Structure 1
Amino acid sequence: MNKLLKVSMLASVLAIAACSNNEAANKESKLEPVESASELPEKFEEPVTLDLIKHVSGDIFFRDGETIEDNVHTKWVKDTFNIDLNYMWTTSGPEDTFDTKLQLSMSANEELPSILALRSEITQDLIDSGRVKEVGEIFEKYASQTWKDAMEADPHAWDSYTREDGRYAIPILDYEMNGDTVLFIRQDWLDKLNLDGPETMDDVEGIMDAFVNEDPTGTGETTYGLAVGFANALNTWMSTADWVFGAYGAMPDQWNLADNGMLEHGSIQPEVKEGLETMRNWMEEGYIHPESGLWDEGKAGELFTSGRAGIIAGPHWMPDWPLSELLDNVDGAEFKAYEIPTGPNGFSGRSTGITSQNGSVMINENATEEEIQAFFVYQNYLFENYANPEVGSEFEYGFAEGYDYSFEGDEVKYRDDEIPGGRIDPVKYTLTFDGARIPSLYINTLADFARGDEPETPFEHKMYLQYPEEAWEGAKIVVDGEYKQIPGMFTGAPTPTMLSRQDTLDTMLSESFSKMIYGELSLDEFDSTVEKWKSSGGEDITKEVNEWYETVEENRE
């Protein structure tokens, strides 16, 4: 229903965008364009207001009395640049709350903010609506060299937002390998049962069997081998099963590059059937919780953090959150990062993004020159001063003392229990969600710690103190195992058939696969499910995806 709502609203947006006549269209600019980033002001003489919208997600917290509209970040922006951040509206709760409100706003042709930072498929709708500027030339003119260098390191960053006549959203760069899967296993359970860490899928099954049947807690309570949730997808960001399918050379829920140079949907490949059979066996043996098919990623994670499951799969940074909750909940609990296992034919694979970006920034078609310059002044500063700060800089230790770091004498502290009132990350308040990130910097820094390197730069010192050693080891695992990556290759806008059929096709596959795992549908039905997927629009989507891929590759050449 959400997708249908979006499609109908998009039609309305396209119909009325051309005759839009809101207040933003009448705004006049007080500044003239400049030729390069070096000519941008450091601070504006007259106040500049940036209109924004934001979803205040569950991982965003505030000091007493502060709000997203008035906090340490908004004050810093005002004091540093003379920029006022004006939140036209915000949402909280589930992510789709924000999407729904924005869809309704677009359908009603309400005024959009001057700067739109989104992590949403609605980005593509906004681009197609004609209500945002072409930003390729603007970026080349106004972005700092550090920002440009970081962007150039990711050749696929712009793919999602490129049209024949230009680029319409600026990618928000993320750290590379930030979502690549490792296994986290209860080390205290392994030690108690005299078990070694796994190397193969058979090893994993042996460990899970022991975790279920040999009372690793010593209490007689019911325990499970693996915390996994596949209500949303088999290949997801946490509590994921991507590695199970990777052990058979498959990767569902994404578009993969085939040997013939074409893109193919990973969920319909024959090897997926082997992964489903494995998960079905695990369900029958009680290795995974019987409600796993109803759980999202967070709910499944709670099975591990409550001390009731022995293995969970997800990104290397999970020891910082949410796995740290296990240590609070269970006395004496320990966990350790392990490499994903190999399958019976020697395969081992993890899902990864082809691009290191997480969201994008669009500029309202009616934005003034002041607003455009203000955004670049702000974001350039973060790339030059926050992404990899120098000794003595204002961000040497973090964004704000008493929030994401504090001092105990001369010693800087980063952990939640070391900062009075708990750790609060003001960088989550920033326009691009995470301040500014240089893709390759972070993961290699943590991996080097696991190899025994000592921190030298302010960024390295911060990472060294902020992330636990289990995260270092997880980072080393994914860096050393880069060859196991199976990248999702499609990053474009939804194709025409996707808009009309994607939800139906996804639901068909999800429900069929879930029934196969639960033993409610024979695995022999896999082939007929695939054929139904193809005949119900899947073949058309495959053709459209490959047309997009061919165009992107030609443009890159």
Structure 2
Amino acid sequence: MGKWQKSTAFGVMCGALVFVSACSSSDSGSKDGQNTSPSSSPSAAPSGSAKVVELTTVRSNPSDIKWDPGESMDKNAVYDAYEKDLGIRIKNVWVADSKQFTQKLNMMIASNDIPDFFTVSDQMQLQQLIDSDMIMDISALFDKYATPETKAWFTKDGGNQMKSAKSGGKLMAIPMADSPYNSSHYLWVRKDWLQKLNLPEPKTMQDVLKIAEEFTKQNPGGGTGKSYGMTLNKDLYGTYGLTGFFNGYHAYPQTWQKGDDGKLVYGSVQPQMKTALKQLQDMYKAGQIDPEFGTKDVDKENELVVGNQIGIAYGEFWLSAWPLEKAAIKDGKLVQDWEVYGLPSIDATPARAQVGLGLNGYVVISKNCKNPEAVIQILNQWVKINSNGVTDERKLYMNGKELEDKGKLYYKVNPIRLNSQDGNVQAGAVLPKAIEAKDPSAFKDNADWTNRYETSLRYLNGDMSGWLNWMIAKPGGSFSIMNQYLQEKRYMADEFFGAPTVTMQDKKSILDAKEKETFTKIIMGQVSIDEFDKFVADWKSLGGEKITQEVNDWFAKQK
């Protein structure tokens, strides 16, 4: 995902999907290829033996890795470390660029010629492999070989990520964990414009609407181009989208929520959506939304932000890293002073930020894998190096043989990568206090927090390159608000985290396209707001009603 790739160099890490296969023994291996006996510690590296388990893999080759001389995805310091520390040799069957990778992997799956283990991108691919009886049940394997630290890694979200990897009560994959809280949205506003126009900081949705109106009328950017109140892109949701705006109206698009009767309902067809869409239609009519948003992606919409034509944006915690940094910092100077706020509400009930499952895919193991415990050993190693502070071992796995972080992105070489389920939300309770006190001792072993702390202090000392992390880590920054959401129970989790239902697989893309088309037309005033009611009826008749039944059948089995 481009937004993550652009922010990783600044410590905003997320797991890009990495595809790995494993488990054929080398000729020098023991009878079953193992060098860790069943009674051994599951994370212990082999000792006193030259036997090596060979793990084959298929890899997507990230274009942004900067390889050291003589290294590549086939031969590199990270692969060497796994062989040295675990006795596991990783061998690539093939390496493809990102555009070709998915096609090649799909061909392997279709021909039942899959690697020993690899990562699938979503639950639909996972279910396909389960239905085809191509992957193994890893319940006993995980229970036996995963370290306590590894098992604990998957518990911070209440267990939903692990549940999503199960079928018939059997664990069929390792979830590529990430934080569900990272998808929550925030309100970002030009604070310098608020001060220039003597406007109060936004505490309610009514404040937001007034600010959008004044930003449009008074053109505080001072440029020759017309000003608009709020960003919006053609996809409607996500960065520079409407997710946070809708949440302010207690509407939760494209998620499943509990209705008054306890059954799940689809957020995009609820009455609150109509109320919010009517307000957006009024804003568009008043010139507060870019009239060409329907043809613009985030980068294109950001041109207006860079050009001092927009002063309100909804987006994730890392908006300061991308795309706002391009607008805020110029020639080493802060030229746009943005502030981040929690989501305001339209009424007395606090707005809740919707969040998803927070996964980057699933690691699956072929039924033909001879040494599946080696997969768990690699998983354990990733957890170990990310749990024991800033050690030389961690530096090697994350940065390559030079050890220092020079923006080479060597961490992407690791075949299995997880992110903390709650690391950032916990950072919101620690980092702001550390920055205020100028004392990082509370997290001296946490590399990511240390990086954000140090770059924030550099910003305070005049280095504008630290601004993006300052906005995230400072008192009142997006991490602080993320933690506040949790303390105040202001997250709205998607209640459906199962594999796509039968009707979803057949109809969801059609229904999603109709939703986007209808909502766009309503906002632009091409159709009446009452078109929403027709959309709801059509959604139900075209498969939504059947999907709702299937989702609730699944939900009943989770209780």
Question: Among 498, 513, 523, which residue is 1:492 paired with?
Answer: 498
Match of 1:365 in 2: 367
Q: CA deviation at 1:321?
A: 3.5
For residues 229 and 243 of structure 1, the distance between their equivalents in structure 2, rounded to whole angstroms, comes to 14
Q: Does 1:440 align with 2:422?
A: yes
Match of 2:451 in 1: 462
Deviations 1:391-444 (A, max 9, x none): 6553379822798855xxxxxxxxxxxx5xxx2332233223xx3433223321
Q: CA deviation at 1:165?
A: 5.0
Match of 1:212 in 2: 216
Whether the aligned pair in 2 keeps the contact of 1:228 and 1:301 (CA below 8 Å) is: no
Whether the aligned pair in 2 keeps the contact of 1:55 and 1:91 (CA below 8 Å) is: yes
The letter of the residue matching 1:431 is: P
For residues 418 and 92 of structure 2, the distance between their equivalents in structure 1, rounded to whole angstroms, comes to 21
TM-aligned CA distance change 1:31 to 1:391, over 3 Å: closer
3-state SS of 1:337 partner: strand
Whether the aligned pair in 1 keeps the contact of 2:34 and 2:53 (CA below 8 Å) is: no
The letter of the residue matching 1:53 is: V
For residues 88 and 229 of structure 2, the distance between their equivalents in structure 1, rounded to whole angstroms, comes to 52
For residues 402 and 409 of structure 2, the distance between their equivalents in structure 1, rounded to whole angstroms, comes to 6
Q: Does 1:168 align with 2:155?
A: no
The letter of the residue matching 1:278 is: Q
Q: Does 1:395 align with 2:379?
A: no
Match of 2:9 in 1: none
Q: Does 1:38 align with 2:41?
A: yes
Q: Does 1:424 align with 2:415?
A: no
Greater shift after overlay, 544-553 or 171-180?
171-180
Deviations 1:450-499 (A, max 9, x none): 24463223204234235712102101112112322221111111111111
Question: Among 77, 86, 108, which residue is 1:81 paired with?
Answer: 86
TM-aligned CA distance change 1:294 to 1:365, over 3 Å: farther
Q: How does 1:182-331 map to 2 (within 5 A)?
A: 182-231=186-235, 234-236=236-238, 238-301=239-302, 303-304=304-305, 307-329=308-330, 331=333
Q: How does 1:100-179 map to 2 (within 5 A)?
A: 100-109=103-112, 111-120=113-122, 121-154=124-157, 155-179=159-183
For residues 253 and 273 of structure 1, the distance between their equivalents in structure 2, rounded to whole angstroms, comes to 14
**Structure 2 unaligned residues grouped into runs of 5+:** 1-22, 457-468
Deviations 1:168-196 (A, max 9, x none): 11112213411111122223333333333
Q: Does 1:49 align with 2:54?
A: yes
Match of 2:537 in 1: 531
TM-score (norm 2): 0.81
Q: CA deviation at 1:329?
A: 4.3
Deviations 1:273-300 (A, max 9, x none): 1111122222222322223233344544
Q: CA deviation at 1:533?
A: 1.1
The letter of the residue matching 1:455 is: P
Identity %: 26
Q: CA deviation at 1:74?
A: 2.9
**Structure 1 unaligned residues grouped into runs of 5+:** 1-22, 407-418
Question: Among 543, 547, 550, which residue is 2:549 paired with?
Answer: 543
For residues 82 and 398 of structure 1, the distance between their equivalents in structure 2, rounded to whole angstroms, comes to 15
Q: CA deviation at 1:241?
A: 0.9
For residues 125 and 150 of structure 2, the distance between their equivalents in structure 1, rounded to whole angstroms, comes to 25
Deviations 1:204-262 (A, max 9, x none): 1222233333232323233332222242xx443x2231122112221111111223221
3-state SS of 2:431 partner: helix
Match of 1:342 in 2: 345
Q: Does 1:519 align with 2:520?
A: no
Whether the aligned pair in 1 keeps the contact of 2:281 and 2:525 (CA below 8 Å) is: yes
For residues 131 and 144 of structure 2, the distance between their equivalents in structure 1, rounded to whole angstroms, comes to 24
Deviations 1:518-548 (A, max 9, x none): 1112111211211111111111111110111
TM-aligned CA distance change 1:315 to 1:530, over 3 Å: same
For residues 79 and 537 of structure 2, the distance between their equivalents in structure 1, rounded to whole angstroms, comes to 54
Whether the aligned pair in 2 keeps the contact of 1:403 and 1:425 (CA below 8 Å) is: no
For residues 315 and 478 of structure 1, the distance between their equivalents in structure 2, rounded to whole angstroms, comes to 10
Greater shift after overlay, 483-492 or 213-222?
213-222
Number of equivalenced pairs? 503
RMSD over equivalenced CA pairs, Å: 3.1
Whether the aligned pair in 1 keeps the contact of 2:455 and 2:470 (CA below 8 Å) is: no
Match of 2:12 in 1: none
For residues 292 and 519 of structure 2, the distance between their equivalents in structure 1, rounded to whole angstroms, comes to 15
